[in-house]
A and B are shown apart, each in its own frame.
Chain A
């Protein structure tokens, strides 16, 4: 359940909503959402990503059981290369990283004004 409406006083709620909408329209975040939408509409890319995740998971399990074969490693490497050469997936990953890298700049601006690290107060200490 979203408790923001209950916890945040009206003026802060409005400023938070406005900041969220502004960030949503910022270049790095727009680029990320465009790339995400591209990925979601590309069945081939999604399937490749799914197979790569499954192969990674399987390999980790086999490593735990001590049963990794050369063929498993080769299969993962082939999928990894396919992922790396898929423009849609790479765009998604790169724009996501750029959007994530942009948020600390915004946090820094807020933190300088309030005199304390906003993200730490908001729970970043657990990261």
Chain B
């Protein structure tokens, strides 16, 4: 039998959905985790040392792209790439950013899981690459 609840449901207009989305966004940005994440992102963007180590790591990665695809990077080049990656990860601004990102991710996942549970559809999967 088709649930009467569904048939009797009052349709929410696009403006009502939009307001609920805006309220959700406003509540999310007010959390300490989001504020921390924003602060860490900004600090990372303005940290010259972190930017330098990131550029060095990315440049090395780019120069080895073809060999990386073939899994044929010579051992010494692989060691140099790892050294540059570690230098990047050791930068305080970078580790602070990843820590903040990890915390906001847990929160966003919990919110998306709750949305998915109610909807019977995976919110995050529906918004995967190519559809957003």
Contacts and interface: CB of A to CB of B under 8 A. Distances in A.
6 contacts: A4-B113, A19-B20, A22-B17, A41-B2, A113-B21, A113-B29
Interface in A66-84: none
> For chain B, what secondary structure do more than half of its interface residues adopt (helix, strand, loop), or is it mixed?
helix
B121 A100 contact: yes
A7 B110 contact: yes
Interface of A: 2-4, 7-9, 11-27, 29-30, 32-34, 36-38, 41, 96, 99-101, 103-104, 106-111, 113-115, 117-119, 121-127
A7 B17 CA distance: 24
Interface stretch (B56-64, B70-78, B90-98, B123-131): B123-131
Nearest to B1: A41
Given A101-B131, A107-B127, A122-B112, A37 B20 contact: no
| Range, interface on chain B | 35 or more
A127 B127 CA distance: 8
A109 B23 CA distance: 11
Given A26-B11, A109-B18, 12 more contacts: A12-B24, A22-B16, A24-B118, A33-B6, A37-B2, A104-B127, A108-B132, A114-B34, A123-B108, A123-B124, A124-B127, A127-B125
